[in-house]
Structure 1
Amino acid sequence: MKFLRAAGSLCLGLFLVAGVRAQALQRLDIGGGKLSMPVAHAGYLYVGTGVTINAWDMADPSQPVYAGRSSSAPASGPIDALAVVGDHLYAAWSAPDGTGGITIYSLADPARPIVAGEYDDFVVSDFHGPMGLAATGTTVYLGDGQNGLFVLDASNPLAPSVIGSASGIFEFDAMGVFGNQLLTSGSSFIGGRIVNAIDVSNPSAPVLTGNASLDGGTVLRAVLTDGYALGVGNDLIVVDTHDGANLTQVSDTPIDQATGAIRMGNTLYLVGDSGIQVWNFANPAAPTLVRTVAMPTFAPDQTAITPFGPLVLTHTDRAVLLGTADPQQPTLAAQFTLPIGVAVHAGAFDATHAYFAEEGYGLGVADAASLAPIGRYDANLPASLAARDMEDISVDGGRAYLAAWGYGVLIADLANPAAPVELGRFEFPFASAIEAHGDRVYVASTTNGGIFKVLDVGNPAAPVELGSLLTSQTYDLTVRGNYAYLADGADFGDGGLRVVDVSNAAQPVVVGQDTGCPYAMGVDVSSDGNTTYIACASDVAFANALRIIDTSNRAQPLLLGSLSLPGLPPNLTDYNVAHSVVVADGRAYVGNEFGLDEIDVTDPTAPVWLARHSTGYPVRKVERAPDGRIFAFTSAAGVFVYVVPGDAIFADGFD
């Protein structure tokens, strides 16, 4: 049993560097990230988003009130599952580096869960992968995708102990206890979905009694209910689980695509892009469609029965609560926003607002200081996450410019941040990096070979391409004056830094290159354009590094200094990937596989590594707000916000 260190332990504190005491960034807030299955306790709803727990007061289910998030004491990796054990909340988390465990929260004050402990010694293994939780009374079932099933005695919630286990089971995307039967489901190693039935009549000796395989070509997810497992996707497949030793498929029915399901007795709700499909489930061997009810349920991530009603959590930051007074005619009882975003790829700022490029729909608008959601812009694009994948964002002159990977450039008016309005769009598939300056927008692509384009947006309703240039794979770009600085990968040509003269927008031309980093992922440039910083995934010596380049002579970039980023002890000391970089006040902030690194670059010929802030997931993008805060975007683990010590903006979390 291990207990957490003081709140904020993920942020490294003070460092002694070359005899000088250097103070590192302080973590200010964390929010957003991948969604866990929700749970409820004492009139509150809890959802894991990234590494934090979010709570809503559901005293009036028609008007949920956001109570806050546990940003001051996060889990060490994205939370996959939750379970309530008495007046405690268990959160199973795992990180890409192979660590994982259960963070235990006290619910003594249900509005403010407080971290009370950490449990990770349920198995002796180099790799932990907690994915699923199910609890009945003080017995907790923990599904670890690396090591199997573990049964915990949680009579003392702060000191659980293993009382049973079963190896050979690795599918734990969903878990449910129904009497003496535990059902689990997940993806198999060879594709498709597996449903496992486990006899837990003796919890200290769980026995796998049988399993069933669901067609991976038609099933996207398995949902577990009492007596039946439901495969949903392009078909509805019903498996009878009453006899755990003889799981039997009893029906297979084509449906409008659904990725979620909620069963209420003889009524079944299938949840997908078309809304709520209401099915009569009185005869599981022959379910029948009753009607489809329009609901804002595009891209459902989690569906659940709660004490407040059926709940749908979507990849588009929406929580949708259904009213079921008439089960066969569900209504929209409440709709509320998941703060910051389920999958934020990048951010931009003005003096009063933060703007987030949201993977699933478009633009999220938040208050700059508190990050409370204010508004959103849903792009009118096909009902496909790939078509709506917002890779980057730039804000300039009261407009937001989004790089939508599946479409191109989208332009939104920010005059009313609560309701941004689309002004125009420009088709450019695979757009991945964007920056706007006045009437010029600079945008580039990565997939299938790079293209760099210069657009005239003087009339935002009809953007015009002025010029373009073939690159290799442009992952990031920065514009200073008449020059664009591109960070390129080498899969379709020369990788590294390209310096492009854009003074003649109709004919952008490469005037200088540095190819010392074949896989350049991120770039930042000093305001005068004379110093360029490259986040290098792999240089010519296969090192993951920050490279500092003298670009005062744009035609002859010269390497000033380089620093390899540390890996992760004990097994990944030589592995890391630098993804993004922002430089301010003599510090470079480099997003990488394991977090956010701070590097002293006051002497560019001899950069000095100072600190790492662990995030539990790769930092793909780093941005600096006008007030000096540093934002690290990890997508799955959420958005991490840091402040330079002494700056005056602080936010409230649970702890």
Structure 2
Amino acid sequence: MKVFRAACSLCLGLLTMLGAAHAQTLQRVDVGGGKLSPPVAQGDYLYVGTGATVSVWNMADPTEPVFAGRTSATPTSGPISALAIVGGYLYAGWSAPDGTGGITLYSLADPAHPVGAGEFDDWVVADYKGPIGLAVSGNYLYIGDSQNGVFAVDASDPLVPVVVGTVGDVYEFDAMAAFGNQLLTTGNSLIGGRVVNVLDISAPAMPLVAGQAVLDGGSVLRAALTDGYAIGVGNDLLVYDVHDPANIAQVFSAPIDQATGAIRIGNTLYLVGDSGIQVWDFTTPASTTLLRTVAMPTFAPDQTAATPFGPIVLTHTDRAVLLDIADPHQPTLAAQFTLPIGVSAHAGAIGADYAVIAEEGYGLAVADATTLAPVGRYDADLPADLAARDVEDISVDAGRAYLATWGYGVLIADLTDPLHPVELGRFEFPFASAIEAHGNRVYVASTTNGGIFEVLDVSNPASPQLLGSLTTSKTYDLTVRGNYAYLVDGADFADGGLRVVDVSNPAAPVVAGQEGSCPYANGIDVSADGNTAYIACASDAEFANALQIVDTTDKAHPVLLGSVALPGTEGLPDYNNPHSVVVVGNIAYVGNEYGLDEVDVSNRAAPVQTFRHPTGYFVSKVERAADGRIFAFAQAAGVFVFAPLASDSIFANGFE
């Protein structure tokens, strides 16, 4: 058990294995958004794991939820998968792609503002940990570790948890709950199929496996655990009686409109899917009966739960939907509120007053530039399919937002009234992945099934026109300086690396020059004069990951000046895939597998990695704000915001 000091490793960052001495130039000032955990509640407060933070809502009036804040001062070291409340403490189970995992403890002395109180990570000695399930029974906490099994923990003193029992052959913890003398877990088995495990916790310090069942049917996507019954949902509804764990029996099966969530409250079962809420009479589980389907804004539900405030649905489109079940068979909408920053924010443009964020599931979110509180959104009219709605990139220019939407193409939104963005037009261009706008020109590129680079005329945004196009390979990123577009590609369908494209004649863009020492390039930034390119290289000619610096003064003959490999982890010292880069003065900020790295590029022939800001998940995109902050989009871990240190002079004159 570790107690938080004045600063934690995630707060200070890591000096690299190179041992280079260099003061960091950024400090973390905020974290938020990211993957959702199942919610928990205590008193008037609702707690949700959002990436590496816990977000809190005051639910004293369930019809008017009030966002109370997030634990950005003490984030976890990886995305949160599970929460549990023990006494006056909130336990947040997290794990990261590098195999690390732990449980961060937060004091709820002030329930609106959880405060970091410690870290519990020694329940097992193992190279890999995956605490993705937590459940509480009395003073006992049960940890579902997907790498190591079930651990029973005596949490009589929540700050001094003690492991008292283990079960080593259960590894499925997508959901986990305790009911009386039973601990139920469920998840996908390594050998296939969705498994329900029943553990006997009548002796709470000595859990024992009492039974197991594989849910029948090939269309079960998730399982909900309730007292006495496990409920599988997907394209079918399956009900399993687990009262006798040695003889788990399927008692009901029926095809349904697809549902990916289930909430049981008493004798009513609510199935949650894109079509809304299916209400089932569960009085006799073996004869479960569909009563009605109620339309609700529940497209793409990520988490569902029964709470003291009513059934709640948290969606991939950043919506929280709370149901009023005064009449259990006639649920109505009690409240709808927004999950700040975004469940899956891919990129952003941050101005003086507003941040405009590309969201995976629906379009764009508009947030206050300082607090990141949501103030507006644009829901694109796209098919009810997350792949078709995946917004990959965003560019904001002259009061418009241009979105690269993988499943469709280019969407254009008017930001004249940023609180109420509206669509101006669209252009079909499947698999769009990178976009940049300048005046009446939009430059967009794709990746899937071979890359294409296109130049659009958007002088009439209601009817964008294709001016010219160019076949590439697999373009992951681009930027434009003057009459040249700089593209970085993967070598899947043609040459990878850097392409310098002359766009002076937009009807006929042509490759002016190439530099191919990085066959698989992910991200690029280019100096204002267009003469230096900084490339986030996933795999160079030597199969190394590196930040490359290329002299592009002679557009026909770009020349590699220097590169530096970004260090990995202790277990994988040579692996660290750079994804994105932004350069300010003599510092390059590189988003990579483990966080945001600072690289000194004052000597372009010999750049030096100097500092790492860990994020607990890979940083796919780095953006710079008008006021000097750096935004690192860390996918499931959320968005990390960094500000220049007060003493750092490189920001004095703004960005290049």
TM-score (norm 2): 0.97
Give the corresponding residue for 1:356: 357
The alpha-carbon distance between structure 1 residues 23 and 575, as it changes in their structure 2 partners (threshold 3 A), is closer
Question: 1:190 Cα deviation (Å)?
Answer: 3.1
Letter in 2 for 1:505: P
Secondary structure of 2:524's aligned partner? strand
- In structure 1, C-alpha distance between the alignment counterparts of 2:512 and 2:144, rounded to whole Å: 56
**1:9 aligns to 2:9 (yes or no):** yes
Letter in 1 for 2:196: V
**1:213 aligns to 2:209 (yes or no):** no
Give the corresponding residue for 1:627: 627
Q: State the Cα deviation string for residues 253-272 of structure 1 (Å, max 9, x = none).
A: 11111111111111111111
- In structure 2, C-alpha distance between the alignment counterparts of 1:9 and 1:216, rounded to whole Å: 46
Overall identity of the aligned pairs, in %: 71
Question: 1:113 Cα deviation (Å)?
Answer: 0.5
Bigger shift: residues 125-134 or 275-284: 275-284
Give the corresponding residue for 2:553: 552
Give the corresponding residue for 2:514: 513
- In structure 2, C-alpha distance between the alignment counterparts of 1:197 and 1:42, rounded to whole Å: 30
Question: 1:515 Cα deviation (Å)?
Answer: 0.5
Give the corresponding residue for 2:224: 223
Superposition map of 1:422-441 within 5 A: 422-441=423-442
Letter in 1 for 2:138: G
The alpha-carbon distance between structure 1 residues 332 and 223, as it changes in their structure 2 partners (threshold 3 A), is same
**1:528 aligns to 2:554 (yes or no):** no
Give the corresponding residue for 2:97: 96
Give the corresponding residue for 1:595: 595
Superposition map of 1:232-251 within 5 A: 232-251=233-252
Letter in 1 for 2:289: T
**1:388 aligns to 2:382 (yes or no):** no
Bigger shift: residues 190-199 or 477-486: 190-199
Q: State the Cα deviation string for residues 454-489 of structure 1 (Å, max 9, x = none).
A: 111111111111111111110000011111100100
Contact 2:451/2:473 (CA < 8 Å) preserved in 1?
yes
- In structure 1, C-alpha distance between the alignment counterparts of 2:399 and 2:556, rounded to whole Å: 34
Give the corresponding residue for 1:45: 46
- In structure 1, C-alpha distance between the alignment counterparts of 2:475 and 2:216, rounded to whole Å: 38
Give the corresponding residue for 2:279: 278
Secondary structure of 1:387's aligned partner? helix
Give the corresponding residue for 1:573: 573
Letter in 2 for 1:584: V
Letter in 1 for 2:269: L
Letter in 2 for 1:461: A
- In structure 2, C-alpha distance between the alignment counterparts of 1:317 and 1:546, rounded to whole Å: 34
The alpha-carbon distance between structure 1 residues 380 and 14, as it changes in their structure 2 partners (threshold 3 A), is closer
Secondary structure of 1:258's aligned partner? coil
Question: 1:193 Cα deviation (Å)?
Answer: 1.1
Give the corresponding residue for 1:605: 605
**1:299 aligns to 2:300 (yes or no):** yes
Superposition map of 1:135-174 within 5 A: 135-174=136-175
Give the corresponding residue for 1:266: 267
Question: 1:215 Cα deviation (Å)?
Answer: 4.3
Contact 2:55/2:70 (CA < 8 Å) preserved in 1?
yes
Q: State the Cα deviation string for residues 267-289 of structure 1 (Å, max 9, x = none).
A: 11111111111111122122221
Contact 1:362/1:388 (CA < 8 Å) preserved in 2?
yes
Give the corresponding residue for 2:412: 411
Q: State the Cα deviation string for residues 371-414 of structure 1 (Å, max 9, x = none).
A: 11001011111111101111101101101111111111111111
Give the corresponding residue for 2:654: none
- In structure 2, C-alpha distance between the alignment counterparts of 1:216 and 1:478, rounded to whole Å: 48
Question: 1:205 Cα deviation (Å)?
Answer: 2.0
The alpha-carbon distance between structure 1 residues 495 and 116, as it changes in their structure 2 partners (threshold 3 A), is same
- In structure 2, C-alpha distance between the alignment counterparts of 1:119 and 1:18, rounded to whole Å: 29
Q: State the Cα deviation string for residues 473-517 of structure 1 (Å, max 9, x = none).
A: 100000111111001001111110011111111111111101100
- In structure 2, C-alpha distance between the alignment counterparts of 1:128 and 1:523, rounded to whole Å: 34
Letter in 2 for 1:313: L
Secondary structure of 1:574's aligned partner? coil
The alpha-carbon distance between structure 1 residues 14 and 567, as it changes in their structure 2 partners (threshold 3 A), is closer
Bigger shift: residues 4-13 or 225-234: 4-13
The alpha-carbon distance between structure 1 residues 623 and 64, as it changes in their structure 2 partners (threshold 3 A), is same
Letter in 2 for 1:103: T
The alpha-carbon distance between structure 1 residues 8 and 327, as it changes in their structure 2 partners (threshold 3 A), is same
Question: 1:419 Cα deviation (Å)?
Answer: 1.4
Give the corresponding residue for 2:461: 460
RMSD: 1.5
The alpha-carbon distance between structure 1 residues 494 and 516, as it changes in their structure 2 partners (threshold 3 A), is same
Contact 1:39/1:82 (CA < 8 Å) preserved in 2?
yes
- In structure 1, C-alpha distance between the alignment counterparts of 2:216 and 2:496, rounded to whole Å: 42
Superposition map of 1:119-134 within 5 A: 119-134=120-135
Q: State the Cα deviation string for residues 230-250 of structure 1 (Å, max 9, x = none).
A: 111111111111111111111
- In structure 2, C-alpha distance between the alignment counterparts of 1:252 and 1:606, rounded to whole Å: 65
Question: 1:202 Cα deviation (Å)?
Answer: 1.2
The alpha-carbon distance between structure 1 residues 297 and 567, as it changes in their structure 2 partners (threshold 3 A), is same
Bigger shift: residues 305-314 or 16-25: 16-25
- In structure 2, C-alpha distance between the alignment counterparts of 1:647 and 1:88, rounded to whole Å: 37
**1:319 aligns to 2:320 (yes or no):** yes
Question: 1:115 Cα deviation (Å)?
Answer: 0.8
Contact 2:20/2:609 (CA < 8 Å) preserved in 1?
no
- In structure 2, C-alpha distance between the alignment counterparts of 1:118 and 1:98, rounded to whole Å: 16
Question: 1:15 Cα deviation (Å)?
Answer: 7.2
- In structure 2, C-alpha distance between the alignment counterparts of 1:449 and 1:158, rounded to whole Å: 54
- In structure 1, C-alpha distance between the alignment counterparts of 2:635 and 2:13, rounded to whole Å: 24
Superposition map of 1:70-81 within 5 A: 70-81=71-82
Question: 1:135 Cα deviation (Å)?
Answer: 0.3
- In structure 1, C-alpha distance between the alignment counterparts of 2:54 and 2:286, rounded to whole Å: 39
Give the corresponding residue for 1:652: none
Bigger shift: residues 4-13 or 255-264: 4-13
- In structure 1, C-alpha distance between the alignment counterparts of 2:246 and 2:165, rounded to whole Å: 20
Question: 1:605 Cα deviation (Å)?
Answer: 1.4
- In structure 2, C-alpha distance between the alignment counterparts of 1:309 and 1:15, rounded to whole Å: 47
